[in-house]
Amino acid sequence: MRIKKHLLALLPLLVVVTSRTTAGIASAELMSNGGFEVGGLAGWTVVGDVRAARYSHSGIFSARLGSRLDSGQVSQQFRIPAGSNGKLSFWYLGVPGEAGTTSIVATLLDQNGAVIMQWNGRVDYRWHQAIYDIGSRYSNQTLTLRFLGEGDYLHEDIERVFCAGSDGCIIRHKVILYTVYAYVDDISVTY
């Protein structure tokens, strides 16, 4: 008789644990290759100059968007299940350039191509996280997440002085150009 009482006492606990586990499983990742850890851009539609780069927020890779001569864009479609809310999260880094044109823009589009959210990132040598709640009114629609980046350049002016005895000194200048980029990483949409 005592064994039966213990089993009956445990039954509600098992039901609670089971229902919490089921609720935890309901949340799922909707983006493919959001961390670019396959070492490439699989799962993304690419336009312009975009590369998987060994410069990341976490892991090894991120997506490098644009160059000094061309912009770069990646996009991916996803669908939030009916009646669910979504959460978009991503990390970005923009390196300031000389012309002030290094930029990164994230756009979330509905199934008709209308802008749900458009966001311009800060460009300041640091990784930043952006989070956006996608309301249930967009559930069961095919949404598109798009990132556009434009590169820029920095230059370094090196001055060297060479003195050769009584001939005097010669000053030589050398200018080195560095291309700077915008990066995105750890892109996630869950529901």
Residue 191 has what pLDDT? 95
pLDDT of residue 99: 65
Token pair for 21: 């586990």
CATH code of the domain containing 144: 2.60.120.260
Range of the domain at 96: 26-152+180-190
pLDDT at residue 133 in the model: 97
Q: Does residue 6 lie within any of the structural domains?
A: no
The predicted structure's pLDDT at residue 155: 66
Residue 100 lies inside a defined structural domain of this protein: yes
Task: Identify the CA nearest to 76 among candidates 27, 126, 16, 32.
Answer: 32
- Within a domain: residue 62? yes
pTM of the model: 0.75
Q: Is there a domain that residue 145 lies in?
A: yes
State residue 122's pLDDT score. Answer: 78
Burial class (CB in 10 A: 0-12, 13-18, 19+), 44: buried
Residue 179 carries which side chain, given as an amino acid letter?
T
The predicted structure's pLDDT at residue 100: 60
Residue 19 lies in a domain: no
What is the per-residue pLDDT for 101?
Answer: 59
The predicted pLDDT at position 88 comes to 98
Domain count, the chain: 1
Spatial separation of the C-alpha atoms in residues 91 and 148, rounded to whole Å: 14
d(CA 4, CA 66): 68
User: What pLDDT is recorded for position 89?
Assistant: 97
Kindly give, in sequence order, each residue whose CB lies less than 8 Å from that of residue 124, ignoring residues fewer than 6 positions away: 94, 96
- Is 114 part of any domain? yes
User: Does residue 80 lie in a domain region?
Assistant: yes
Q: Is 33 a member of any domain?
A: yes
pLDDT in tens, the chain (191 residues): 444 444 344 333 333 333 333 344 457 999 999 999 999 999 999 999 999 999 999 999 999 998 877 899 999 999 999 999 999 999 999 877 776 656 889 999 999 999 999 998 877 888 999 999 999 999 999 999 999 998 777 766 677 777 777 777 777 766 777 777 889 999 999 99
Measuring CA to CA, how many Å separate 178 from each of 31, 68, 98, 152, 175?
32, 9, 10, 9, 10
DSSP character string of 146-171: EEEEE-EEEEEEEEEEEE-GGG-EEE
